[in-house]
A and B are shown apart, each in its own frame.
Chain A
Amino acid sequence: MIAIPSRHKSLVLLAGVIVLQVILLAMQIKRDSQGRLLRVWTVGAVSPFERAGSYGFGWFRDTWRHYFALRNTTKENERLREENDALKLQVAQLQGKAAEADRLAVLLNFRKSHADVPMIGARVIGASAGAASQTIQLDRGERDGIRRNMGVITPDGVIGKVVESYSNTSQVLLLTDKESGVGATLADSRIQSPVGGQGEPLLIMKYVPNDDSVNLGERVVTSGMDRIFPRDLPVGTVTDIKPGNPFKQIRIKPAANLERLEEVIVLLSLHPLEMKSEADPAAAQPSTPGVANSSTAAKP
């Protein structure tokens, strides 16, 4: 047997470990498997800490924003502020809850105005562990009816789609990820083209010929052609247009603030959806409280 000099053992180990991982990569590409078992274990182990951290951090941030950060704004009032510390702390906590209630009310109104679409609200508890992907983690998963390829939105617009669903959590690929995309239409000219991410805050509209007329500030909405999102959901607005070869280079600012997501809505359907317009008075009528619960979510 060939003896390996001790000074070369770590090099041999390095080579072996890298070869193993290259084989692991190759297997994932060839079989299209994503190492689900390891991912389930890791996410299952980390998500409770993320969940706890998310709630704890939210409390800390609200307290900081509404209490400590304001504490030294005026020196004259310092003595008075100290006297009222306890009271302000309570106010800060209530303000945080009120802000959260406002956000949830917006979500609830959105859901009521689209009662025919099965959907469920979820809280963002984590983000991607590296810059190679743009994902977020939700506190709801398979037990709540969430499956892969379901669309994720906020009342402001499209967020992305579910790429992995675990029992209690799920991962969402944001529109800004390089591998993300959504079927879209320019709202005024009705030109259809997919919109995708490029790993940056702005999105890109890919296949609009140079001959077509596109205006800065024009709204971009979903086309429904991807069979994930219903038609006419806001995607973003055109912020930059450059001629390209053979297609224009159109950059789009997402309608939803993808960098500050706290609560989102998951569209609980893998079938093409039709969503009524916000302007449709029939759709805007408040519906029964049942629309916000999982009974609605169970609709096909």
Chain B
Amino acid sequence: MIDTFEIRGGGSHIEVHKFRAGAIIIATLLALVIQASFPVHFARAAILDLPLLVTIYFGLSRRNPSTGLLLGMSIGLLQDSLSGPTVPLGLYGIAKTIIGYLASSIGARLDTEHPAARFALTAVFFIAHQGLISLTRRILLAQPESWFNMRVFIAALVNAIVAVFLFLLLDRLRKRS
């Protein structure tokens, strides 16, 4: 079985990675449980969005837009259902569906293995994710929501830093070629 293969085009090649059985499901559930548990003990941990980081990582690694968006949708809907009834099902779902799609589309065109690329992409995706949530709240739910503020900027940087190390950890779940 081929575990790692390459997308060729325009003279460049990009690896598509596969993961050990159950790795995506376990990593996703672990991210959701930690996301729901950590802020109880460390209030500042609420700034992290681990489900988003997992969505971005698997999107960038798998590089298949269809699986990326379906994984993003699943993670988003689970996050919605864990966030209490004030968060309607679909709020995170829509945002993470689009992020999953974008991550896997970009992953198929760029080499996203370098920590600097991962840092920059995560920061951009985090801000885009917040923008999509604001857009959904404003347009579909008619709720006032700011587009961008300093807190979002800081959260994007923090999540991008965490992503660099988290992605290195998740790299260990890849099947060796």
- Chain A positions within 8 Å of B, measured between CB atoms, are 9-11, 13-14, 17-18, 21-22, 24-26, 28-29, 34-35, 38-39, 41-43, 46, 49-50, 53-54, 57-58, 61, 124-133, 135-137, 163-164, 171, 173, 177, 179, 259-262
Interchain CB contact (< 8 A) of B98 among A18, A25, A124: A18
Question: What CA separation (Å) do A73 and B159 show in the bound complex?
Answer: 32
B36 touches A137 (CB 8 A): yes
- The list of the 5 closest CB pairs from A to B, nearest first, reads A259-B43, A10-B65, A129-B82, A135-B84, A127-B39
Give chain A residues whose Cβ lies under 8 Å from the Cβ of B116: none
Question: What CA separation (Å) do A57 and B36 show in the bound complex?
Answer: 13
A25 touches B81 (CB 8 A): no
Annotate B80-97 by CB proximity to A: 1 below 8 A, 0 otherwise: 111111111111111001
Assuming the contacts A28-B89, A38-B89, asked whether A14 and B41 have C-beta atoms less than 8 A apart, the reply is: no
Give chain B residues whose Cβ lies under 8 Å from the Cβ of A13: 65-66, 69-70
Give chain B residues whose Cβ lies under 8 Å from the Cβ of A34: 85, 88-89
Q: How far is the CB of A241 from chain B (nearest CB, A)?
A: 23
Question: What CA separation (Å) do A39 and B79 show in the bound complex?
Answer: 10
Question: What CA separation (Å) do A259 and B65 show in the bound complex?
Answer: 38
Give chain A residues whose Cβ lies under 8 Å from the Cβ of B41: 57-58, 61
Q: Can you report 13 residue pairs joining A to B where beta carbons are below 8 Å apart?
A: A9-B66, A24-B89, A43-B81, A46-B32, A46-B33, A46-B82, A54-B37, A127-B37, A128-B83, A128-B87, A132-B91, A177-B86, A262-B40
B110 within 8 Å of A (CB atoms): no
A49 touches B33 (CB 8 A): yes
A129 touches B32 (CB 8 A): yes
Give chain B residues whose Cβ lies under 8 Å from the Cβ of A9: 66
Interface pick from B2-10, B44-52, B164-172: B44-52
Interchain CB contact (< 8 A) of B83 among A26, A54, A132, A261: A132
Q: How far is the CB of A2 from chain B (nearest CB, A)?
A: 19
Give chain B residues whose Cβ lies under 8 Å from the Cβ of A39: 81-82, 85, 89
Q: How far is the CB of B158 from chain A (nearest CB, A)?
A: 12
B21 within 8 Å of A (CB atoms): no
Tell me the total A-B contact number using a CB cutoff of 8 A.
Answer: 158
Q: How far is the CB of A100 from chain B (nearest CB, A)?
A: 14
A129 touches B85 (CB 8 A): no
Give chain B residues whose Cβ lies under 8 Å from the Cβ of A163: 84-86
If over half of B's interface residues share one DSSP class (helix, strand or loop), that class is named, otherwise mixed; here it is helix
Question: What CA separation (Å) do A135 and B36 show in the bound complex?
Answer: 10
Give chain A residues whose Cβ lies under 8 Å from the Cβ of B35: 129-130
Interchain CB contact (< 8 A) of B89 among A25, A49, A262: A25
B54 within 8 Å of A (CB atoms): no
Question: What CA separation (Å) do A50 and B85 show in the bound complex?
Answer: 19
Give chain A residues whose Cβ lies under 8 Å from the Cβ of B53: none
Q: How far is the CB of A16 from chain B (nearest CB, A)?
A: 10
Q: How far is the CB of A277 from chain B (nearest CB, A)?
A: 31
Interchain CB contact (< 8 A) of A126 among B36, B70, B89, B97: B36
Assuming the contacts A10-B66, A163-B86, asked whether A50 and B81 have C-beta atoms less than 8 A apart, the reply is: no
B83 touches A136 (CB 8 A): no
A22 touches B36 (CB 8 A): no
A261 touches B40 (CB 8 A): yes
Give chain A residues whose Cβ lies under 8 Å from the Cβ of B155: 131
Question: What CA separation (Å) do A277 and B150 show in the bound complex?
Answer: 43
A29 touches B33 (CB 8 A): no
B88 touches A28 (CB 8 A): yes
A131 touches B49 (CB 8 A): yes
A50 touches B78 (CB 8 A): no
Question: What CA separation (Å) do A173 and B47 show in the bound complex?
Answer: 18
Give chain A residues whose Cβ lies under 8 Å from the Cβ of B78: 42, 129
Q: How far is the CB of A167 from chain B (nearest CB, A)?
A: 16
> Which of A132, A173, A262: most chain B Cβ within 10 A?
A132
Assuming the contacts A29-B88, A164-B84, A171-B84, asked whether A131 and B46 have C-beta atoms less than 8 A apart, the reply is: yes
Give chain B residues whose Cβ lies under 8 Å from the Cβ of A42: 78, 81-82
Question: What CA separation (Å) do A260 and B141 show in the bound complex?
Answer: 31
B133 within 8 Å of A (CB atoms): yes
> Which of B36, B39, B64, B70: most chain A Cβ within 10 A?
B36
